[in-house]
Amino acid sequence: MCSIDYYYQPDFYCSRMVKAKKNHTCQECDRLINIGEKYQYVSGKWGGIISTFKTCSHCVVAQEWMIKNCGYWEHGNLHDEIIEHACDYEKMELYRLAVGMRRSWKKFKSNELMSIPA
Ligand SMILES: [Zn+2]
Ligand SMILES: [Zn+2]
């Protein structure tokens, strides 16, 4: 069950996967999106204000979980949402996503990125 009972409906919303032409920062986990990497580019209008969001391909997996199980999520708040849901659902996959996001998807004691979760 989702504890949040509202969904901030955008006036318009456009999401696509694009290839990075320069370095970006994922707005969910703060990790660097490298040149050539695929990331999700979203533009939308919420309450009359146009915003754009860049999300790394790792965090998109967490997003997809939220969409599938709760039908919604909020940009910029994905980490908190996943932690909350990990507590509610007590699912290992969710804890793994939460830890991954907190570590900016870096492997333990390494700068290498984790593989993208299934
Ligand atoms: Zn939920
Ligand atoms: Zn990310």
Ligand 2 mean position, distance from CA 118 (Å): 15
| pLDDT recorded at residue 39 | 98
Alpha-carbon span 105 to 32, nearest angstrom = 10
Tell the residue number behind the tokens 């919420």, with chain if given: 46
Note the pTM of the prediction, 2 decimals: 0.88
| pLDDT recorded at residue 53 | 95
Sheet with 12-19, strands from edge to edge, namely 12-19, 38-46, 49-56
| pLDDT recorded at residue 8 | 66
| pLDDT recorded at residue 5 | 46
Q: Which ligand is nearest to the CA of 106?
A: 2
Report which residue type is found at 76.
G
User: What's the average pLDDT block by block, 10 residues per block, for the chain (118 residues)?
Assistant: 57 94 97 97 90 96 92 88 91 93 93 90
Ligand 1 mean position, distance from CA 68 (Å): 10
Which residues fall inside 5 Å of ion ligand 1, going by CB? 2, 70
Ligand 1 mean position, distance from CA 85 (Å): 6
Q: Which ligand is nearest to the CA of 73?
A: 1
DSSP letters, 43-85, are: EEEETTEEEEEEEEHHHHHHHHHHHHHHS---TT-HHHHHHHH
Strand, coil or helix: 9: coil
Alpha-carbon span 46 to 48, nearest angstrom = 5
Q: Which residues pair with residue 24 across a beta bridge?
A: 33
| pLDDT recorded at residue 7 | 56
Ligand 1 mean position, distance from CA 66 (Å): 7
